[in-house]
Amino acid sequence: MDLKKSKRIETICVHGKGESDPSYHAVIPPLYQTTAFAFESTEDGSALFTGQKEGYFYSRMGNPTVNALCRQIARLENTESSLAFASGMAAIAAVIMALIPKNGKVLASHTLYGGTHCLFTRSLPGRDIETVIVEDDNPETFRRHLEKDDFQLIFLETPSNPTLSLVDIQAVCAIAREKKIPVMIDNTFATPIFQRPADLGVDIVVHSATKYICGHGDVIAGIVTGKKEMMDIIRDEILCRYGPIISPFDAWLLLRGLKTLSVRMERHEQNAMKVAQFLHKHPRVKRVYYPGLPDHPGHDIARRQMTGFGGVVSFDVGDKETGIQVINRVRLFTRAVSIGECDSLIQHPASITHSGLSDCELEAAGINPGLIRLSIGLEHADDLIEDLEQALNA
């Protein structure tokens, strides 16, 4: 079986190869925990530094372990090239800084992670880059904005954080192609196991690799993957010059995480579906946000463009005070931010991850005061349900 010909993502997860190791034939890609690489002569070093010769000379410019991670991500996302960063936010910011000119504009989907929202609305205006956030995620809403203004990039987050709203990726990409505008998507919640945006027309895919790609809560990292021409620009303009690089050790840990990504995502989703179904029936829950439920507004879109519904569930208990009380009463769930870890996590978006948004911005994004976000882990689903039941009934 030739790995390059395999399209089965479970096999790609396990059999992604790192740098060759002719001396020892290591099964696991080795960790190159080094700052610099020796060269044979000054002429050899000059050729490496100027790109006339392939190889490594300084880990800010390239490292075998980091490159092994990047190649594996590209295989999983079915893209041409990838870059690894010190965080997910660094990855998003690098794309904007490299590809959007001064006085440029970004058209963004309706609901965004709090850090992304603040980057777009608080920080980028200082660089003379404006972001317009659409009123809803209907493709025709994107079309109306594109017809009345000039944009250099469309940014999508689907499923979104924390409301799990869905964007029809193919429809938006078709509209973007008409206008010759690149599309970038945050694929953190779905991962390439459940969604491969490049196959649907997306140009650039970004991940907070801190989350499911790592899977164990011990790495902060970001990934950008897409067309090689764009990746080369981002690498030369931002990654090498500004230096927001990932460490080789963190890259090695992410390679480890990718080995189990497929089986972990299956378990996350199985547990999440059971928890969502329980919450959907509970009398004290006003609304459940999970695309796997038939009454979710994006359920049909999710069935078309995703192969699984993910491991994040949000639910609304009506008001902020009740939401905080429920969160403070849980015993098994861990009160913490982030998602994608083995442990199940619970947090209050309006108070924590999206606290940088004003009340008006929270309302516009559909983030209600009583909204609770769950990252469903790998425990037994019945134990998670029992914990939520006692917290809701207390």
Tens digits of residue pLDDT in 47-84 = 998 889 999 999 999 999 999 999 999 999 999 999 99
pLDDT at site 370: 97
Q: Which of 253, 209, 242, 246 is nearest to 73 (CA)?
A: 209
In this prediction the pTM is 0.95
**pLDDT tens column, 156-213:** 999 999 999 999 999 999 999 999 999 999 999 999 999 999 999 999 999 999 999 9
Q: Give the architecture-level CATH label for domain 8-259.
A: 3-Layer(aba) Sandwich (3.40)
Active site residues: 60, 113, 186, 211
Burial class from Cβ neighbours inside 10 Å (0-12, 13-18, 19+) for residue 379 reads middle
pLDDT at site 35: 96
Could you give the CA distance from residue 284 to residue 268 in angstroms, rounded to a whole number? 24
pLDDT at site 22: 62
Phi, psi for 7 (deg, rounded to 5):
-110, 5
| Joined tokens for residue 392 | 């809701």
- The verdict on domain 261-393 having CATH code 1.10.260.40 is no
- H/E segment holding residue 262: helix 261-281
Find tokens 């190159």 and name the residue: 32
Q: Which residues of the chain have pLDDT under 70?
A: 1-6, 17-23
> What residue ranges do the domains of the chain occupy?
8-259, 261-393
Find tokens 């696991």 and name the residue: 28
Give me the helix-helix angle, 261-281 and 248-259, nearest 10°: 70
pLDDT at site 1: 46
